[in-house]
Structure 1
């Protein structure tokens, strides 16, 4: 297969399935050959990213991710898509292990945020505790001129429950809790926007229907950027 990209996913698997579904549904296709060429690495057994970020005595995901990159180097895709937000904690090491461009989801999301909110403002970041501690999204958002709100313990507990208890453990799309979290952020804390920086949150957002609140879904942004770059590569061949 030529002219393809690779997806480094499986963290988690249902969220990766959501990403693949997005790119398949958003491409304009009238026949099989109109869809995109890609290879999916659904590496479900990568150790938990947040667990390592919070406690470096547990197994590190990095050797597993670097092994995946080594295998993708052999395949020589046009670019690599890393679908796990928290795994971007290791982004520099991952990109350093390959000459192939790895898309940076937090950076793409922050750029989109700036496009839709050119005057800046107060924006909340919702993600895993690992992503919060890593500070990757905060840095990208602040570089774009935004005031970043990080959830307090009570709000982060709600986010954790939605990600881990509901989606990861029970495959339950808890839209009521999701909307409660957004109400806390917008109505209670006065934010103008929010970035969803966890693919489990993106999965809930995908199933919400019409959302009464403006959100920047990082996975959705990444899907659009993936399609854009894949089509550019296709047309240049």
Structure 2
């Protein structure tokens, strides 16, 4: 297979499925051959990223299997890697150091989209896993881009973890009221001009429930758009 990319998925599987669905839905296709070539690595048994970031002394390290995936897939020669798990970007620099093939950086794509879609935004909020909040993979570049970073309150963070782990991961179910309540608190109580959806399980909630007119940037959606752009560019160059 030529002109393909590799998706490092399975973290979690429902979130990866949402990425694939959005990828196929947004690809400008009118026949089978118009869709994109890709290899999906649905590595569902990768240890939980948040567990490790919060307690690295007692939890298994997700970097070990992720590094194996990158090294194995690099031998196939994909054009690029997509990593549809925000929390896994904690290991981004270590993974990128293992290969010359570019790995798309989902948080950076999401932050760049803020300037494009919300040019007057000053206060940028984030809802994500405890691991992503702790590792500052969004906080540092948001501040570097000149925005005021808005951390969710402990109560909002706990509600977000319930949405991610108890609902989407555990039951493949989205509590629409809870999702909208989280967004409402970020926008109305914390005065966010835009909220980044920094977890692919939250992207599942966005796909199924919508954001009820609250200003959001869906990091997974930005990764999808960049995946399509690069894949179509690679195809066109070789035609």
Tell me the TM-score normalised to structure 1 length.
Answer: 0.98
1:179 is matched with: 180
1:156 is matched with: 157
Within 5 Å, give how 1:76-91 maps onto structure 2: 76-91=77-92
What is the CA–CA distance in structure 2 between the aligned matches of 1:174 and 1:79, rounded to whole Å? Answer: 34
2:38 is matched with: 38
2:12 is matched with: 12
1:227 is paired with a residue of what secondary structure? helix
1:130 paired with 2:142, answer no
Distance apart, 1:210 and its partner CA: 6.1
2:142 is matched with: 141
1:66 is paired with a residue of what secondary structure? helix
What is the CA–CA distance in structure 2 between the aligned matches of 1:209 and 1:132, rounded to whole Å? Answer: 23
Q: Is the 8 A contact 2:121 2:194 kept in 1?
A: no
RMSD: 0.9
What is the CA–CA distance in structure 1 between the aligned matches of 2:154 and 2:132, rounded to whole Å? Answer: 15
Structure 2 runs not aligned, ≥5 long: none
What is the CA–CA distance in structure 2 between the aligned matches of 1:146 and 1:222, rounded to whole Å? Answer: 21
What is the CA–CA distance in structure 2 between the aligned matches of 1:141 and 1:191, rounded to whole Å? Answer: 13
Does the C-alpha gap of structure 1 residues 119 and 210 become closer, same or farther in structure 2, counting only changes over 3 Å? Answer: closer
1:202 is paired with a residue of what secondary structure? helix
1:5 is paired with a residue of what secondary structure? strand
Q: Is the 8 A contact 1:114 1:144 kept in 2?
A: no
Structure 1 runs not aligned, ≥5 long: none
Within 5 Å, give how 1:57-136 maps onto structure 2: 57=57, 58-136=59-137
What is the CA–CA distance in structure 2 between the aligned matches of 1:174 and 1:45, rounded to whole Å? Answer: 26
1:207 is paired with a residue of what secondary structure? helix
1:193 is matched with: 194
Per-residue CA deviations over 1:194-228 (Å, capped at 9, x if unaligned) read 00000000000011246220100000010001000
Runs of 4+ with deviation above 6 angstroms:
none
Tell me the TM-score normalised to structure 2 length.
Answer: 0.97
Aligned length: 237
Distance apart, 1:63 and its partner CA: 0.6
What is the CA–CA distance in structure 2 between the aligned matches of 1:133 and 1:207, rounded to whole Å? Answer: 27
Per-residue CA deviations over 1:165-215 (Å, capped at 9, x if unaligned) read 111111111111000001111111111110000000000001124622010
What is the CA–CA distance in structure 1 between the aligned matches of 2:104 and 2:208, rounded to whole Å? Answer: 25
What is the CA–CA distance in structure 2 between the aligned matches of 1:208 and 1:98, rounded to whole Å? Answer: 37
2:50 is matched with: 50
What is the CA–CA distance in structure 2 between the aligned matches of 1:27 and 1:155, rounded to whole Å? Answer: 34
